[in-house]
């Protein structure tokens, strides 16, 4: 396994739409293992392949307290989303240190393949529902800050670029 570098907003590669996985093979299982290691190392609860510059429809999530119940979603699709929505603070490993309110469906039902290639349907609500929607946005080339006002988004972009410049100088 290997920890992969996480792309940071406003990196244009975060806007690439991920392609469907053709087959769940050894390469995809290795990608899943690397993504899980990367997510746990970064103290995240979700990670999309797009965030590690792999543009395939792969998501890993673990919202458990013990950090020992990983969920793997390959080629996920939302087959149902509740009409009820809720605004909650979201953060993102690709936008470190920034949290803001995003409106999401309270519950979703997702169809996806697991890391053994088996199709499954998952019903989710609460934090898991939010996390699934957030990570699936990444697969579509969308970062959560795009739900915010242009003013907030530009302030965040400036802050991220400034942090990157300061890191290069250090």
83 is catalytic: no
Catalytic residue among 83, 135, 146, 166: 135
3-state secondary structure 17-84: CCECCCCCCHHHHHHHHHHHHHHHHCCCCEEEHHHHCCCECEEEECCCCCCCCCEEEEEEEEEEECCC
Q: Contact, 100 vs 148, CB < 8 A?
A: yes
- Per the annotation, does 55 bind a ligand? no
15 is in an annotated binding site: no
Tell me the catalytic residues.
Answer: 135
Annotated binding site for Fe cation: 92, 134, 138
């Amino acid at each position: 396994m290997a920890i992969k570098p996480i792309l940071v907003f406003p990196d244009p590669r975060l806007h690439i739409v991920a392609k469907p996985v053709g087959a769940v093979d050894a390469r995809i299982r290795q990608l899943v293992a690397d993504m899980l290691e990367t997510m746990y190392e970064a103290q995240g609860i979700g990670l999309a392949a797009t965030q590690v510059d792999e543009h395939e429809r792969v998501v890993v999530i673990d919202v458990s307290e013990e950090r020992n119940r990983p969920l793997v979603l390959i080629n996920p699709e939302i087959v149902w989303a509740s009409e009820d929505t809720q605004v909650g603070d979201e953060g993102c490993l690709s936008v470190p240190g920034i949290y803001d309110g995003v409106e999401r469906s309270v519950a979703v039902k997702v169809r996806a393949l697991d890391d053994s290639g088996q199709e499954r349907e998952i019903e989710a609500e609460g934090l898991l529902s939010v996390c699934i929607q957030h990570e699936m946005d990444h697969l579509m080339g969308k970062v959560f800050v795009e739900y915010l006002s242009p003013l907030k988004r530009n302030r965040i972009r400036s802050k991220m670029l400034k942090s990157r410049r300061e890191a290069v100088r250090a």
